[in-house]
Amino acid sequence: MNRTDRTHALRLLVAWAVLSVIGVFIALQVHLPPGDQSTQSVDETSLLDLMLVISTPVFIGVVLFILYSAFAFRQTGAVLEDGPPNHGNFRLQVAWVAITAVIVLLLAVIGISGLSNSAAATTFASSQATLGTVGSAGTASGHRLQVQVIGQQWWFTYRYPDFGGVESAHLMLPVDTNIEFHVTSTDVLHSFWAYQLGVKADANPGVDNITYVSTVNTGSFEVRCAELCGIWHGHMADPNGQVVSQADFATWIAQVQKDDVGISLPPYSPIYFPHPPVKGS
């Protein structure tokens, strides 16, 4: 490394350090979804924040390098001249690979630990009936509130097996509750995406796809379909999902049980198949 190398490197390093500090400071101000309605969305928000903070210096470093070399390392004269014949630097290559590997490992460890906290734990229980146990909305020990999410062209309906399998067109959840979603579909693939809750799980016909959420704050949330499911896929959205206090939930579910009318579906079942199989018209 001669003097010019060192000068260029030093300039770049100083500029990178300064800009990174500014960049990270700005990145920390950015408000990222999904928010704080559930422990899962809190985890996801903090992971997204972390990734933004990690990637900001990387982004700044690369862009800085491109711009710096575009200005500092240009041809100047009228005659084409060649650069120094460097064929590589083994130690630098090893260091680079090691640094990227460490960042990758770090991200993977964070992601995997997030998974084991059941931040997004979805389990697969194809056609095994785990629903139907009737009980009260379990706030504390063991039992989770069961909610079946049924994707249909083109809306979601929700059944509450803990309350006799009553059905609602809007998702209503009690706060401070562990909830177990059982996601299925009666026709094509859908994806149940409760945005502010930080939940997304595909709805497959004939499959009981389980995902968990623990509500911590009241408020409304939006449910959308996140898997292409036919022509009205874009309209498959319901902004009227709500996390309410446990007392409100009890009142609401009692009312639903009182005027329980099957909205559109066949009798309650843990899974559904499209029937009959549909072929092109």
Partner 1 sequence: MAIAPIVDGPSIIQSSERRIVVPTNILTGIVLAVFGYWVGEQLGNSFLLNDAQNTGVLLGYSFASIMFLVGVGFANYPLARLFGWRVTPQPAGDDHTGAWRYLNLSLDHKVIGVQYLVAMLMAMLFGGIGAMLIRTSLLVPDPPIVAPDKYLTLVSMHSVMMIFVASAAIVGPFGNFFVPLMIGTNRMAFPRLEALSFWLVPPAIVILLAAPIFGGFQTGWTGYTPLSEQADQGFDSYIVGFTLIGLALVVSGVNMLTTVIRLRAPGMTWIRLPIFVWGVFSASILGTFAAPILAAALIMQGFDRTLNTTFFISSAGGSPYLWENLFWFFGHPEVYIFILPAFGIILELLPHFARKPLWGYRTAVVGLLGVTLLSWFVWQHHLFMSGIAPALRPFFMFSTEMISIPTGIVFLVAFGTLWRARISMSVPMLFCLGFLFNFLIGGLSGVFLSDVPSDVTLHGSYFSMAHFHFTIVGGEIFAIIAAIYYWFPKMTGRMLNQTLGKIHFWWMMIAFNMAFMPLFAAGLLDMPRRVSTYAVDLQTLNDWVSIWAFILFASMLFFAFNVIWSWFFTFKVAPANPWQVRSIEWMLPTPLGRRNFEKIPVFTGSPYDYGNPGAKPVADLGGPSDLGRRGFGAEPVPS
Q: What are the residues facing 221 on neighbouring strands?
A: 241
Q: Which residues, numbered 163-182, are part of the site for partner 1 (CB under 8 A)?
A: none
Closer CB to partner 1, 94 or 254, in the complex: 94
Cβ atoms 274, 207 nearer than 8 A: no
Closer CB to partner 1, 56 or 178, in the complex: 56
Q: Which residues, numbered 187-216, are part of the site for partner 1 (CB under 8 A)?
A: 187-189, 191, 193, 195, 198-202, 204-207, 209
Checking 264-270 for CB contacts under 8 A at 24+ apart, the result is 264/152, 264/157, 265/150, 265/152, 265/157, 265/167, 265/186, 268/132, 268/159, 268/161, 268/165, 268/167, 270/127, 270/128, 270/129, 270/130, 270/131, 270/132, 270/148, 270/182, 270/184, 270/208
Q: Which residues, numbered 107-136, are part of the site for partner 1 (CB under 8 A)?
A: 107-108, 110-112, 114-115, 119-124, 126
* Position 147 contacts partner 1 (CB under 8 A): no
Centre a 10 Å sphere on the Cβ of residue 238 and count the other Cβ atoms it contains.
Answer: 17
Q: Which residues, numbered 24-83, are part of the site for partner 1 (CB under 8 A)?
A: 32-34, 40, 43-44, 47-48, 51, 55, 58-59, 62-63, 65-66, 69-70, 73-76, 80-83
Closer CB to partner 1, 88 or 267, in the complex: 88
Residues 6+ apart with CB under 8 A from 193: 199, 200, 223, 224, 225, 226
Closer CB to partner 1, 20 or 256, in the complex: 20
Candidates 20-28, 89-97, 142-150, 240-248: pick the segment binding partner 1 (CB under 8 A): 89-97
Q: Which residues, numbered 213-272, are part of the site for partner 1 (CB under 8 A)?
A: 222, 224-235, 237
Smallest separation, CB 69 to partner 1 (Å): 4
Closer CB to partner 1, 82 or 259, in the complex: 82
Residues 6+ apart with CB under 8 A from 8: 68, 72
